[in-house]
């Protein structure tokens, strides 16, 4: 593995922020650290970068223990949420800055800066200052600067959170495509599940300084191991075993061993198939049209569930429906 994190621990003012965090990333992996505010994901990124010392544990990069190395010697590219561009230097000078710090001069710098600005789609914007660029363009400049010295690892700290939704969606596609083309291992901090699901090879879901679950986006979405992951990674209908026994008994044979109170059935909104049936046991309380799909709130046996429907579906509020479900995952309650 290119990057290996082994039993990292960190405390602030006596309170644990990271507690025995261990994971690994391959030489071209895109890893997302996902979790709510305060779960330790930014602290973890800063420890990897060498900006914050760990209390316990080790960080290995390409087979080397880099825990004692200062940030300047770790060959990592960093992109922060705030971009951190020099306002008094144009885009080209911002990208050139780390190259000049490394002692490079003249035509070599000019050539490399041109290559990088072209790589991020800003070949004609090099003479503009940050204040003359859009938020998305500033982020591209920050990304080009992070790539300037050909780092061994790219670290992104919520790089898209300050952008509007449309631009954020485009940039995450562009960043992922760029990362794939360069083959550079990348660790990104985010609290946005859509970013993690659409960009990551591996998601590390953190909760209170510990890894709650790690795996592919599909693993975490379709096979969450806990109520926390089920709720955080997407919308979830969580049903106790006692309810499933009466309403969806077909799922009981798939339940992991343990007491009735240990597990809940997680049904994603798209797992529920509903159709109009005057003899059905569920009632549509509300339907929200969302373009290519609609979201229905259902009252069913004293519970409120969410189902996802095709946008062209004609079911409406107040209708009686039958519910069918064949997919779902058991999670720790």
Q: Say whether both 195 and 274 belong to one domain.
A: no
HSE-CB of 263 using CA atoms within 13 angstroms? 22
Please write the tens of the pLDDT for every residue from 73-127.
999 999 988 878 999 999 999 999 999 988 888 999 999 999 999 999 999 999 9
Q: Work out the burial of residue 281: count CB atoms within 10 Å of its CB; fewer than 13 is exposed, 13-18 middle, 19 or more buried.
A: middle
Q: Say whether both 134 and 197 belong to one domain.
A: yes
Q: What's the whole-number mean pLDDT along residues 164-193?
A: 91
Distances (CA, A) of 278 to 70, 275, 305, 319: 69, 10, 19, 8
CB 102 within 8 A of CB 73: no
Q: Say whether both 82 and 164 belong to one domain.
A: yes
Q: Residue 185 is part of a domain; what is its CATH number? A: 3.40.50.300
HSE-CB of 271 using CA atoms within 13 angstroms? 20
Please write the tens of the pLDDT for every residue from 187-244.
999 999 999 999 999 999 999 999 999 999 999 999 999 999 999 999 999 999 999 9
Phi first, then psi: give them for residue 55, nearest 5 degrees. -80, -40
- What domain range is 240 assigned to? 236-332
Q: Say whether both 190 and 250 belong to one domain.
A: no
How many domains in the chain?
2
Angle at 146 between CA 110 and CA 136, to 5 degrees: 95
Last residue of a domain, one of 227, 258, 277: 227
pTM for this entry: 0.92
Average pLDDT along the chain: 93
Q: Say whether both 250 and 184 belong to one domain.
A: no
Q: Say whether both 162 and 91 belong to one domain.
A: yes
Q: Say whether both 42 and 155 belong to one domain.
A: yes
| C-alpha to C-alpha distance for 161 and 333, rounded to whole angstroms | 31
Q: Say whether both 129 and 41 belong to one domain.
A: yes
Task: Give how far the C-alpha of residue 241 lies from the chain's centroid of Cα atoms, to the nearest Å.
Answer: 30
pLDDT, residue 301, reads 94
pLDDT, residue 255, reads 87
CB 293 within 8 A of CB 308: yes
Q: Say whether both 174 and 319 belong to one domain.
A: no
Please write the tens of the pLDDT for every residue from 31-80.
999 999 999 999 999 999 999 999 999 999 999 999 999 998 999 999 98
Beta strands 293-300 and 303-310, pairing class: antiparallel
Q: Residue 107: helix, strand or coil by DSSP?
A: helix
Whether the pLDDT of residue 259 is over 70: the answer is: no
CB 317 within 8 A of CB 252: no
Q: Residue 311 is part of a domain; what is its CATH number? A: 2.40.50.140
What percentage of the chain reaches a pLDDT higher than 70? 99
Last residue of a domain, one of 227, 257, 283: 227
What percentage of the chain reaches a pLDDT higher than 90? 83
Which DSSP helix (H) or strand (E) runs through 37? none
Q: Say whether both 29 and 173 belong to one domain.
A: yes
């Amino acid at each position: 593995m290119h990057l290996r994190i082994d039993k990292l621990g960190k405390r602030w003012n006596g309170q644990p922020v990271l507690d025995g965090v261990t994971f690994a990333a391959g030489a071209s992996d895109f890893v997302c650290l996902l979790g709510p505010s305060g779960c330790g994901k930014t602290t973890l990124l800063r420890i990897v970068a060498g900006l914050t010392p760990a209390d316990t544990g080790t960080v290995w990069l390409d087979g080397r223990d880099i825990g004692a190395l200062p940030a300047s010697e770790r060959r990592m590219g960093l992109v922060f949420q705030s971009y951190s561009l020099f306002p008094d230097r144009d885009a080209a000078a911002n990208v050139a800055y780390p190259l000049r710090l490394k002692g490079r001069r003249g035509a070599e710098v000019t050539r490399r800066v041109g290559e990088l600005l072209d790589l991020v789609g800003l070949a004609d914007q090099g003479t503009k200052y940050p204040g003359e660029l859009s938020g998305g363009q500033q982020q591209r400049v920050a990304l080009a600067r992070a790539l300037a010295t050909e780092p061994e690892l790219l670290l992104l700290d919520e790089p898209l959170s300050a952008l509007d939704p449309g631009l954020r969606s485009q940039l995450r596609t562009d960043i992922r495509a760029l990362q794939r083309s360069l083959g550079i291992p990348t660790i990104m901090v985010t609290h946005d599940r859509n970013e993690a699901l659409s960009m990551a090879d591996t998601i590390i879901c953190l909760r209170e300084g510990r890894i709650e679950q790690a795996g592919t986006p599909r693993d975490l979405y379709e096979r969450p191991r806990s109520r926390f992951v089920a709720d955080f990674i997407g919308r979830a209908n969580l049903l106790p075993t006692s309810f499933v026994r009466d309403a969806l008994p077909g799922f009981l044979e798939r339940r992991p061993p343990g007491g009735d109170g240990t597990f809940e059935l997680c049904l994603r909104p798209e797992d529920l198939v509903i159709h109009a049936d005057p003899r059905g046991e569920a009632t549509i309380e509300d339907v929200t049209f969302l373009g290519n799909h609609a979201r229905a709130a259902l009252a069913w046996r004293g519970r409120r569930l969410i189902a996802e429907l095709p946008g062209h579906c004609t079911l409406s509020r107040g209708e009686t429906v039958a519910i069918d479900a064949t997919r779902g995952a058991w999670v720790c309650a």
